[in-house]
Amino acid sequence: MRHQKLRRKLGVTSDHRRALLRNLVKSLVERKRIRTTLARAKEASAFADKMVTLAKKGTLHAHRLIISELACPTTAGVLVKQIAPKFKERQGGYTRVLRLMPRPGDNSNMALLEFTEVIDEPKKPKKAKAGKAGKTTKAEAVETEKPETPKTTKTSAKTKPAASEKPEAVDEKKETDKKGGFLGSLRKFLKGDE
pLDDT at 144 (0 to 100): 53
Q: What is the pLDDT of residue 109?
A: 97
pLDDT at position 118, please? 82
Q: What is the pLDDT of residues 21-40, one digit of tens each?
A: 999 999 999 999 999 999 99
Q: What is the pLDDT of residue 179?
A: 59
Q: What is the pLDDT of residue 111?
A: 97
Rounded to the nearest angstrom, the gap between the alpha carbon of residue 6 and the centroid of all alpha carbons in its chain is 36
- pLDDT at residue 185 in the model: 78
Q: Supply the pLDDT for residue 194.
A: 56
Question: Which pLDDT score is estimated for 174?
Answer: 57
- Cβ neighbors of 26 (< 8 A, separation 6 or more) are 70, 72, 75
State the pTM of this model: 0.61
Q: Please, what sign has the CA dihedral across residues 83, 74, 45, 66?
A: negative
| Low-confidence stretches of the chain (pLDDT beneath 70) | 121-180, 193-194
Q: How far apart are CA 34 and CA 28, in angstroms?
A: 6
**Confidence (pLDDT) at 119:** 74
| Nearest-angstrom CA–CA distance, 96 and 112 | 8
Cα–Cα distances in Å, from 134 out to 137, 148, 176?
A: 10, 22, 53
> pLDDT (tens digit, 9 = 90+) per residue, 145-175?
555 555 544 444 445 555 445 555 555 555 5
What integer pLDDT is reported at residue 132 of this predicted model? 52
Residues with Cβ within 8 Å of residue 120, at least 6 apart in sequence: none
Nearest-5° Cα angle at 62, 61 to 68? 90
